[in-house]
């Protein structure tokens, strides 16, 4: 009688483990020491995939991000490599290198759309060769809108996902 009660629990645990191992890549499959990696495609993916992984992906396409700012757009793939790494960290919730990262951005310049205090958060995009934080930043809004500045808030570009 007792074994019959455990069987559904074991099956549920097995399903959870299978989803974690074979389903979606999530943050665990994408981040290794601050770098992003792309999944293998084409013949390389077919050769290395297990039978359960060789099925075509059924992921829904990401919805197009609307640009509420009217600012020029920049694709994520056009950002410097350091900017793409910071976007991956933002999606993962950190950790961040600088104590000023993930702090409220006041939008005092008024370039970004006007929002309540605390809506925007800022993140440092390291600049190779700089001894300080440099001028590059990503500013992220609470609704998922993200902006890049390479000149310390003098100008911004709206970041669109994709390549």
User: What pLDDT tens digit does each residue of the chain (163 aa) get?
Assistant: 555 566 666 555 555 444 444 444 333 333 333 333 333 444 444 444 434 444 344 444 445 568 888 899 999 999 999 999 999 999 999 999 999 999 999 999 999 999 999 999 999 999 999 889 999 999 999 999 999 999 999 999 999 986 5
CA torsion angle 92 93 96 102 (round to 10):
140
Q: Is residue 113 within a helix (H) or strand (E), and if so which, with residue range? A: none
Tell me the whole-structure pTM to 2 decimals.
Answer: 0.60
CATH code assigned to 73-160 = 3.10.450.30
Residue 122 known to be catalytic: yes
> 76, 152, 154, 161: which is the annotated catalytic residue?
152
> 76, 82, 109, 122: which is the annotated catalytic residue?
122
- All CATH 3.10.450.30 domain ranges of the chain, comma separated, are 73-160
DSSP, collapsed to helix, strand or coil, labels residue 4 as helix
Residue 33 known to be catalytic: no
Question: Are the CB atoms for 152 and 72 separated by under 8 Å?
Answer: no
């Amino acid at each position: 009688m007792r074994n019959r009660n455990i069987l559904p629990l074991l099956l549920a645990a097995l399903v959870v483990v299978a989803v974690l191992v074979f389903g979606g890549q999530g943050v665990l499959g994408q981040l290794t020491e601050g770098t992003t990696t792309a999944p293998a495609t084409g013949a390389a993916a077919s050769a290395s995939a297990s039978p359960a992984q060789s099925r075509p992906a059924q992921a829904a396409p990401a919805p197009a991000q609307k640009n509420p700012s009217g600012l020029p757009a920049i694709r994520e793939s056009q950002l410097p490599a350091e900017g793409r790494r910071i976007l991956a960290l933002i999606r993962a919730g950190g950790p961040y290198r600088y104590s000023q990262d993930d702090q409220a951005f006041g939008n005092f310049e008024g370039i970004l759309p006007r929002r309540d205090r605390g809506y925007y958060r800022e993140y440092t995009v390291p600049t190779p060769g700089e001894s300080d934080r440099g001028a590059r930043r990503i500013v992220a809004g609470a609704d998922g809108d993200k902006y890049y500045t390479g000149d310390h808030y003098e100008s911004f570009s709206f970041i669109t996902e994709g390549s």
